[in-house]
């Protein structure tokens, strides 16, 4: 199981790195354009994989709902994340978004689609406390400006969007497989992202982009495509709860890269919040593995139609 675990680790790192790279260029590129280019590049990588994947083709009846949910999963979600890093630091955004498996579990519980054990409930509480500690700590020390609240609000909405899409995608993933559903969903997301890129006020003409900007945009797109493949490989060999637990690496990666390349100074409250959220993710993975051993459910990616948006 070394390679699947390594693939999960790489995915966790990739999500954090993509958020830092997005933070570095989003003001110049624009949130909508960055999202459009990100998934246009990723789609070119995923199309051959979907063509060779097994599973039933997506029917005409399923095409519309898959496309609509995809606009949420890949379009609205990534647009919200890009707006989030435009207004606040990527370590904060990564920390909030790392709670996605836990929020997905909570949404499934509310909708009656998931059973929550006492340990899983404590994992939800622990993660909520972690995020609350971050907000309260930074607010009390004067590190939270008005724009930071906007960014964190967008990160929270992005996380909730991913959790809702996870529940809505379940029947389509079971019938057609992750790769084919995700390609259709990702293709559909290019429409709202493209429209957003046309009307948003932020952004510099592509002809005026620096070489650094071009390289970072390319990195975000390529890493999203290859990160997706690593995610699918890990999910095919490990329980989804274990794979998604490695999202805890994303805020750690974001903190390290932000300090190294963006000159960010992390706060003490961010460090404590990291520990609490990672503890919540670990508890979630352990609780779901226990539940699977007792009564094996259908294993699906906890982040929706094909893994993290990074």
Rounded Cα–Cα distance for residues 291 and 120 (Å): 10
Q: What is the pLDDT of residue 172?
A: 81
Alpha helices by DSSP H, the chain: 2-29, 31-52, 60-70, 77-87, 90-97, 100-110, 118-140, 146-176, 178-199, 211-235, 240-245, 249-257, 268-294
Backbone φ, ψ for residue 264 (5° rounding): -70, 140
Check: CB of residue 120 under 8 Å from CB of residue 283: yes
For residue 191, what are its two tokens?
A: 């429409």
In the chain, domain spans: 2-294
Angle at 129 between CA 288 and CA 302, to 5 degrees: 30
pLDDT tens, per residue, the chain with 310 residues: 578 878 888 988 899 899 999 999 999 999 999 999 999 999 999 898 888 877 678 888 889 998 998 898 888 999 999 999 999 888 888 888 878 877 877 777 777 765 666 776 676 677 777 777 776 777 766 677 888 889 999 999 998 998 888 778 777 877 777 778 888 888 999 999 999 988 887 668 888 899 999 999 999 999 999 988 888 787 777 766 667 667 777 888 888 888 888 887 777 777 787 777 777 767 766 665 665 555 444 333 333 444 555 5
Rounded Cα–Cα distance for residues 157 and 165 (Å): 12
């Amino acid at each position: 199981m070394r390679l699947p675990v390594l693939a999960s680790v790489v995915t966790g790192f990739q999500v954090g790195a993509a958020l830092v790279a997005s933070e570095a260029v989003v003001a110049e590129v624009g949130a909508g354009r960055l999202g459009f280019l990100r998934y246009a590049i990723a789609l070119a990588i995923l199309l051959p994989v979907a063509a060779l994947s097994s599973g039933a083709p997506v029917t005409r009846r399923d095409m519309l709902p898959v496309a609509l949910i995809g606009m949420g999963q890949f379009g609205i979600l990534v647009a919200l994340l890009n707006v989030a890093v435009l207004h606040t630091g990527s370590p904060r955004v990564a920390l909030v978004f790392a709670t996605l498996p836990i929020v997905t579990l909570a949404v499934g519980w509310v909708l009656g689609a998931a059973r929550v054990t006492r340990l899983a409930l404590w994992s939800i509480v622990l993660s909520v406390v972690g995020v609350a500690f971050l907000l309260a700590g930074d607010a009390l020390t004067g590190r939270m400006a008005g724009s930071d609240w906007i960014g964190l609000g967008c990160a929270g909405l992005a996380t909730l969007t991913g959790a809702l899409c996870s529940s809505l995608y379940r029947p389509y993933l079971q019938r057609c497989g992750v790769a084919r559903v995700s390609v259709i969903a990702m293709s559909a997301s290019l429409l709202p992202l493209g429209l957003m890129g046309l009307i948003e006020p932020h952004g510099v003409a592509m002809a005026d982009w620096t070489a650094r900007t071009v390289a970072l945009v390319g990195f975000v797109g390529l890493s999203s495509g290859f990160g997706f493949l690593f995610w699918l490989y890990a999910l095919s060999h490990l329980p989804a709860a274990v794979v998604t637990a490695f999202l805890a690496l994303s805020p750690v990666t974001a903190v390290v890269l932000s300090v190294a390349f963006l000159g960010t100074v992390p706060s003490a409250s961010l460090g404590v919040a990291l520990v609490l959220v990672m503890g919540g993710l670990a508890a979630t993975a352990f609780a779901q593995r226990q539940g699977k051993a007792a009564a094996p459910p259908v294993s699906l990616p906890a982040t929706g139609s094909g893994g993290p948006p990074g």
